[in-house]
Amino acid sequence: MLDLFSEIEEPEREELKALRKELEEANYKYYVLNMPTLSDREFDEKMHRLQDLEAMFPDMFDPKSPTQHVGSDLGKKGFEQVKHKYPMLSLANSYSREEIEEWVRKLPSNVEIVCELKYDGLSISLWYEHGILVRALTRGDGQQGDDVIANIKTIPSIPWKIDRADVPEFFELRGEVLLPWTRFEMLNKEREEQEEPLFANPRNAASGTLKLQDPKEVARRGLDTYLYYMIGENLPGKTHFERLETAKAWGFHISDAIKVCHSVDEVMAYIAYWDTERKNLPVATDGIVLKVNNLAQQEELGYTAKTPRWAIAYKFPAEKQLTLLKEITYQVGRTGVITPVANLEPVQLSGTVVQRATLHNEDFIRQLDIRPGDRMWVEKGGEIIPKITGRAERETTDPRLPSTPSFPSNCPECGAALVRVEGEAAWRCPNESGCPPQIKGKIEHFVSRKAMNIDGLGEETIDLLYRQGLLHNIADIYDLKLEDIAAQERLGEKSAQNMLAGIEASKQVPWSRVLFALGIRMVGETTAKKIAKRYTSIDTLQWATAEQLCAIEDVGPQIAENIVRYFEDIRNLEILSRLREAGLQFEAGESSETVSHSDKLQGQTIVISGTFAQHSRDEYKEMIEANGGKNSGSVSKKTSFILAGDNMGPEKRKKAEELGVKLLSEEEFLGLLG
């Protein structure tokens, strides 16, 4: 009989081991790589199953099990790891309103419960000593975290110093670092233009941003924060809510959506309200957090190994729909990557109609065995980008049902044989100079705002001039004639004059942006700046070896190899020769790239609003940082002044008037810098 039970138990023991391994890998990919492989609900369901199995087999207890510790974001290089003064635990999660009701009813009678929005970002712990910010730690493994204070100081909503008499000698504030939806969309648009992997959601984007080694790039992306817990010794207030109100009075960013509830009905009403209203918020939320308000009662209720007993999170269910996959089409990107696209029966998700979603690559299609005619699950939970999460079981074995489609072996646009680089999932069209989407995509990238910034050459105009035989590559832009442009449909002489003026002005764009504009694969805006700083002319860069290029920060072997290959291609060299003849800046020093450095703006926070005549917004941001200032996207009482151009935003102007923030014109600002 004992042998029989052992045989029954054995598969469950194996399941326990497999779940531990799977959840450890999922934690690593979520916290360290910012590439989640499981949805929150899938992860939690597997975690609950593991907890049940461990209770079934106490002899298999392991202190290293995922049930005994929180996931860790440690492992990134370049940050000091510091032990938390108080462990940063995770929260118990529930997806059931019935479970939340039960949790509330089990609490002592007459307990006050604070309900808060659960912001979907990266946990942070801020340490203040004598009112000065001294540490900013990520959750890490719950016991120690990475000190990312240099990056945290770029966030305008986090004060560096609290100058008040009532601030204790030490206190710690915890919260979430977030990327607002508008900034997230801008960042993903930039990455899409560079054909870099898109961030699935703002949480991944915020996490990846906070672990960058370049605070300037962190500042540019526009992170924000909401703080939700104060901890320390001899702090003011006997309740959680009182402490948050104190933190708000000290100048910290505390949500206005916090509410003290006194009954189950009030809690459920709060959840019901925000389940809908959260969709109108400027940042991502994925649930509600409930906390016992009285701090003494919190202490009495205590903790489990990884969660407090006095708090719980209710997670909003991800919004998903089942819809028909009508057909799979294939798109060719600027760098030749072939992306399969699911064309779907239109379905409404989170207020938008979804008709298309990426199928990523050939491997994804094969893993899910996706065929036209299948019914696909489309999800938009914490994601802003619709994604295919699975397919429904097929209801028929009809032999006429299409088989899994073969990935094309030739480019759907130019017919060239596709290639697949070893170690990569994507197929690629190698015909860079003859494939229409690649040609037009390179031109669109070249004229974009952060590259050569040529007005009048949008996607439709480029397509028109390409079809008319006037544009075949980026060098052709500088051979365009007034009469040729004016003769085109929907353009005319005025449009032609404006376009030629923009083309002429682009000849003053600095070397680092020219390098970025060339569209060398994987050389983004920030990487181009670092390369241009090391190699101050195209002549020196052209002869750099891959080994020399790898010595530059953020340039790995693949980027180095792409640069070397670019300069080995005779077609690229011919284009570069024509661009040089046209007068582009192929070396530093003779353009606005030479920015003077000083401390004239030291300690000042500056907001830029409007349009400008003498420099671009990006150039003004660079000037502010070079002179010791700090850029901010929003007006607050900490704003020193606003650099105000034409068509300044009315909301920023109104806020400035309310707070008495002064406005400087473009000329006044340049005069200030001398």
Instruction: Report yes or no on 593 lying in a domain.
Output: no
Whether residue 563 is found in the same domain as residue 489: yes
Q: How far is residue 213 CA from its own chain's centroid?
A: 15
What does the block give as tokens for 359? 């199928």
In a domain, 595, yes or no: no
> How far apart (Å, rounded) are the C-alpha atoms in residues 142 and 102?
28
305 and 328 co-located in one domain: no
Q: Is residue 421 part of a domain?
A: no
- Residue 328's pLDDT is what? 93
Based on the fold, state whether residues 229 and 155 are members of the same structural domain: yes
Q: Residue 8 has what pLDDT? A: 46
Whether residue 574 sits in one domain with residue 637 = no
Same domain, 211 and 290: yes
Query: What pLDDT is attached to residue 595?
Result: 53
CATH number, domain of 635, equals 3.40.50.10190
Determine contact, residues 314/288, Cβ cutoff 8 Å.
Answer: yes
Structural domain ending residue among the three candidates 362, 391, 420: 391
**Three-state SS for 596?**
coil
Q: Which CATH number does the domain housing residue 498 bear?
A: 1.10.150.20
Q: What is the CATH number of the domain that holds 325?
A: 2.40.50.140
Flag whether 138 is in a domain: yes
| Strand-pair category, 170-178 with 224-231 | antiparallel
* pTM of this structure: 0.53
Residue 425 forms part of a structural domain: no
How many folded domains does the chain comprise? 5
Alpha-carbon distances of 362 from 37, 206, 425, rounded to whole Å: 18, 29, 7
Same domain, 476 and 359: no
The pLDDT of residue 476 is 96
Q: Which residue's structure tokens are 């016992």?
A: 292
**For the chain, first and last CA: distance in Å?**
91
Element (H, E) at 99: helix 97-106
Q: Are the C-beta atoms of residues 209 and 147 closer than 8 Å to each other?
A: no
To the nearest 10 degrees (0 to 180), the angle between helices 557-568 and 570-582 is: 80
Residue range 452-464, pLDDT digits in tens: 989 889 888 999 9
Structure tokens that stand for 661 in this block: 């923030």
Alpha helices in 284-361 (DSSP H): 295-301
CATH of the domain at 223: 3.30.470.30
Residues 263 and 306 in one domain: yes
Domain enclosing residue 369, as ranges = 320-391
The length of the chain, given as a count of residues? 674
> Does residue 622 contact residue 643 with C-beta atoms inside 8 Å?
no
Would residue 10 count as lying in a domain? yes
Cβ within 8 Å of residue 633, ≥6 positions away: 156, 183, 222, 607
Provide the CB-side half-sphere exposure for 491 (13 A, CA): 23
Instruction: Write down which residue in 46, 68, 90 finishes a domain.
Output: 68
Does a structural domain hold residue 592?
Answer: no
Structural domain includes residue 336: yes
Q: Which of 21, 64, 85, 118 is catalytic?
A: 118
In this structure, are 442 and 509 located in the same domain?
yes
Q: What is the pLDDT of residues 546-602, one digit of tens each?
A: 999 999 887 888 899 999 999 999 999 999 999 999 999 999 864 444 455 778 888
Burial 323-338, CB ≥16 within 10 A → b, else e: bebeebebebbbbbbb
Do 185 and 134 have their domain in common? yes
Q: Are residues 209 and 115 in the same domain?
A: yes
- The pLDDT, as a whole number, for residue 591 is 41
Q: Do both 195 and 143 map to the same domain?
A: yes
Q: What is the mean pLDDT of each run of 10 residues along the chain (674 residues)?
A: 46 82 75 62 78 80 72 62 89 86 89 94 94 92 88 90 90 94 85 72 87 84 93 92 94 94 94 87 90 94 84 85 91 89 85 81 87 86 70 69 80 93 82 92 91 88 93 95 89 89 92 94 86 92 94 88 94 95 85 60 88 75 84 85 82 85 89 83
The verdict on whether 21 is a catalytic residue reads: no
Of the residues 282, 315, 348, which one is the last residue of a structural domain? 315
Same domain? 455 vs 497: yes
